[in-house]
Amino acid sequence: MTTNHAVFFVDLQQNQFDPRYGIYNADTFLVQMTEALAEARQQGDLVIHIQHDGPAGEMDEPFSEAWQLVLPVAPHEKIYRKTVFSAFSENPEIVEQLNANGITHVTIIGVQSEYCIQANAHAARAAGFVVHVPRGMHSTADAQVVADVHAALVAEGFSRGE
């Protein structure tokens, strides 16, 4: 790692890209996430994957096919699992890892805008990091919700509105 920047890839799991209960514009969004991962790696950013564990029988039941991450995880990249919206609340070692790597800036991308994206952005800021949530780099099932959440993130200073 050569930068003071980390990129969180939040809940990019198979179930989020399933047309039965997936996110808005899933195919395009997956291309964007794939490109973002390649860019983060090329720039030497710390890459962190977040994976949601749902209850037994649900679409995100741990170790089910739908629970699997859609992006490949490099051997040196960490996966943090969670059962609530914010990975920070169940994984205090995230802050330790960020601090140990000299991270001061965090970008939060992935799904779902109104739940885990907002929760992780707030938690990262509360932990003392400069947090950015770029437009078009978070999604959920409804395009209007994505737009509304992004407007709120801009108002809260998490995005420059680009």
What integer pLDDT is reported at residue 19 of this predicted model?
87
Do residues 103 and 129 make contact, with C-beta atoms less than 8 angstroms apart? Answer: yes
Reported as a pLDDT band with limits 50, 70 and 90, residue 115 is very high
How many other C-beta atoms lie within 10 A of the C-beta of residue 145? 15
Reported as a pLDDT band with limits 50, 70 and 90, residue 107 is very high
Please tell me whether the overall predicted TM-score, pTM, comes out greater than 0.75 for this model.
yes
Class of domain 5-155: alpha beta
pLDDT tens, 14-57? 999 998 888 989 999 999 999 999 999 999 999 999 999 999 99
Q: Where are the domains of the chain?
A: 5-155
Give yes or no for residue 160 having a pLDDT over 80: no
What integer pLDDT is reported at residue 2 of this predicted model?
60
